[in-house]
Every structure is written in C-alpha cells, then in structure tokens.
C-alpha cells in the first residue's frame, strides 16, 4: 500500500499539469487583448492621419482633410468587442468591422461601422456603411447616452448578420440585417475626413465567436 501511495504522489503533479493543459476554455476565459497599452503591435495604419500611444491609450489625431484608419492585422468574422473611447475634438469616428480597403488608399471597399460621434443626435451606436448609408439608428431617447470628453464604454457583437451595440451599459442597437454585404474582414478605428478628429481608445478586448 505504501508503494502505491508514493507512486501516486510522484505521478500526480504531471497528471494535474496535463489536465490544466487539456482543460477546455470556459465561457468568459476566451477574451483576448487587442491593444497592449504600449505600442501599436497587431495594428496597421491606413491613410495619413497620426496614430500614437500615450498614457496607455491610442490617440488618433487628424492632421489632414482625408480619412484615416487604424486596422487590425487579423481578420474577424463573428466576435464580441469591448472598447473604451473618448472624444476630444468635434470630428466623427467609428469602429468598422468586416473591413476592406482599396489597395494603397484609405477608401473603404467593404465593411460596416458602429458609429462614434459625441455630438448629440449623431446616432452613436447606430450602423452605417457598405455603400448603403445609414442602416439603423438608436432609439431617440438613447441619443443622450454618449458623453463628450469622458471615457465611454462600448460593447459590440457581430454574429452572422446580427449586430448589437451597447453604450455605457445601454442597449443601442440589436439589428438583424436582411441584406448583408460583407461577412469577414478587419476591425478598424476611424478618423473622419475634415481634420477635426481627436479620438482616444483603450482597453480593447475581443472574443472570437467564429465557429471553427
């Protein structure tokens, strides 16, 4: 009996380590950090606007009259995205998904955006793009949820043709697109044309929901 106990104790650490390695990922443990708070690793710039990292946040500063984007190197199909943003300028911004660009240009060839515009009645949380203009707006009573000059919490979900946005804990849009134009692509932060964009982004996390 004593030999069996010793053998069990010797084997146990390896067995437990193996169990930890093979344990399936539990719900909520599959969030991955998209921005490391130090540099723009995993991202690439599109256009001529200025993107820097300052005090653990991405600073997008419009320095031209053109559009500018910061897009992920990876593509995503179905996902949840958590991001915090702050508007300091008067410009318009957004979080694009299923994005594609015309080669060598900041011209979007495909993709929708979850709107960001901290001016009232500009439909932050709504959906725009894919050559169709506005697709859906938040309810009128939710136009005041966004806060200018403060950090806002954005929780976005794309699954198939269903798109959901929550802003500061409030459901803004839950929309099933009857005519989707794109289904895969990068995620991109936008600075609108006009040279007025002054945006901050941080705490960017993604949960890949694509069925493998």
* Per-residue pLDDT tens listing for the chain (212 residues): 555 444 444 445 554 445 556 777 776 788 999 999 999 999 999 999 999 999 999 999 988 888 999 999 999 999 999 999 999 878 789 999 999 999 989 999 999 999 999 998 999 999 999 999 999 999 999 999 999 999 999 999 999 999 999 999 999 999 999 999 999 999 999 998 766 778 999 999 999 999 75
Main-chain dihedrals φ then ψ at residue 182, nearest 5 degrees: -145, 155
Q: What total of structural domains would you count in the chain?
A: 1
Q: Is there a domain that residue 12 lies in?
A: no
Q: Is there a domain that residue 83 lies in?
A: yes
Domain extent for 51: 29-208
Prediction pTM value: 0.86
Residues 6+ apart with CB under 8 A from 178: 161
Q: Is there a domain that residue 6 lies in?
A: no
Q: Is there a domain that residue 73 lies in?
A: yes
Cα distance from N-terminal residue to C-terminal residue, the chain: 47
Q: Is there a domain that residue 69 lies in?
A: yes
Q: Which helix (H) or strand (E) holds 45?
A: strand 43-47
């Amino acid at each position: 009996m004593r030999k069996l106990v010793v053998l069990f104790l010797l084997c146990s650490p390896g067995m437990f380590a193996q169990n930890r390695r093979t344990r399936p990922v539990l719900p909520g443990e599959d969030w991955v950090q998209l921005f490391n708070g130090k540099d723009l690793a995993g991202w690439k710039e599109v256009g001529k606007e200025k993107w820097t990292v300052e005090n653990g946040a991405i600073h997008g500063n419009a320095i031209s009259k053109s559009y500018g984007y910061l897009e992920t190197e990876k593509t995503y199909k179905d996902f949840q995205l958590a991001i915090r943003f702050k508007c300091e300028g008067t410009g318009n911004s957004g979080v694009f998904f299923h994005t594609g660009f015309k080669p060598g240009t900041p011209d979007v060839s495909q993709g929708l955006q979850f709107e960001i515009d901290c001016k009232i009645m500009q439909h932050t949380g709504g959906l725009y793009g894919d050559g169709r203009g506005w697709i859906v707006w938040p309810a009128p009573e939710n136009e005041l949820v966004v806060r200018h000059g403060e950090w806002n919490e954005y929780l976005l979900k794309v699954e198939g043709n269903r798109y959901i946005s929550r802003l500061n804990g409030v459901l803004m849009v839950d929309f099933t697109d009857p005519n989707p134009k794109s289904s895969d692509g990068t995620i991109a932060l936008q600075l609108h044309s006009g040279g007025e964009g002054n945006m901050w982004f941080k705490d960017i996390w993604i949960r890949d929901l694509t069925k493998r």
